[in-house]
Every structure is written in structure tokens, then in C-alpha cells.
Amino acid sequence: MSERAERPAPEPEPVRFFGTGWVDRGTGYWLRRVGVGLGALLAAALGAVLMRLGVQGVFISAAGALVDTLLVVAVAVCTCVAAIRTWNLLSRGRSALTGWMADDRSVAPMLVIGCVGVLVAYFLRSLLEAPGEGEKRARYELAVAAHARRRTPVATGTGARRRRR
């Protein structure tokens, strides 16, 4: 009998909207991916309409060309930064974010203004895989490989060659 207790096989982490169905890409995985993608695209379109209404309100106020230009540039920058951060977060996980991008508090206003970028990145990621699946799949496969290595016996040599004291 083994001195150390056998450890159970590693369990996969659930992915939002997919649970653990991403492991074998089984029941309903593809329908969920299509649903998540279409939902993100629909929400991005709705966010774009709302953003346009907000920007249009500033344009109507006739604050001036400088204010209008600064507003458009600010919304564009926030959307791009939010999309890049979301893409990195979904593809490589939180550990890929460094510096000010890793701090949720400092990026929160930018994510709110750039909500369209977040949703578009989520949609594009859902075309490749379940958002967040890549990073979780890599960790799960490493854990399964480590578990398999622990279970295989290690050859330490034959007992006949050992010298007895």
C-alpha cells in the first residue's frame, strides 16, 4: 500500500456562461458560444447607440470644436484601451495585466466609457473560443499532466544492487 494518499484528479474551473462544458466541448457548447457572441454583439450595438446619443448631446450644446474633438478622441481612446485590456484578460488571464491596467479601480472609468470596446472584444473572443477558455484550458492541462506524473511510479533501481549495512 502506498504511504501517501492518492490525490484526486484535478477539476476544471468553470467559465462564465459555459460551466465546465468547455473541457470536452460537449453538450450545448457551440450553441452557448453563438449565444454569447450574438449577445455581446447586440449589447455592443446598444452601447454604441447610447454612446452616440451622449456625444450627440454635447455636439448639440455647441460647446465648440475643441470640446467636440476632445470628446471624440477621449471616447475612442477609452474604447481602444478597454478592448485591448479585455482581450488580454480573456486570452491570457489576469496575470497578463501589469501596471495600471491590472488595477481595476484605476481602469474602471475607462471601461465604462469604453464599454463598446469591451463588448466587441468579448464578441471577437467568442469567435475563437469561449471567452476565458484559453487560459483555463492551459492551467487545467498542466494540472492534469502533473497529476499523471505523480501517479506513475518512478524507477529507482533494483533492490538487488543495494548494499546492506
pLDDT digits (tens, 9 = 90+) for 100-147: 666 777 788 888 888 999 999 989 988 888 887 888 888 888 888 888
CA 33 to each of CA 25, 28, 146: distance values in angstroms, whole numbers, following the listed order: 10, 9, 30
pLDDT number for residue 64: 87
Query: Whose CA is closest to 82, among 122, 111, 108?
Result: 111
Domain boundaries, the chain: 29-129
d(CA 149, CA 72): 55
Quote the distance between the C-alpha of residue 19 and its chain's center: 14
Confidence of residue 162 (pLDDT cuts 50, 70, 90): low
d(CA 86, CA 124): 11
pLDDT tens by residue, 145-156:
888 887 766 656
Ramachandran angles phi, psi of 100, nearest 5°: -70, -20
pLDDT number for residue 77: 93
With a cut of 70, say whether residue 44 has pLDDT above it.
yes
pLDDT tens by residue, 46-104:
999 999 998 888 888 888 889 889 999 999 999 999 998 888 887 777 766 667 666 77
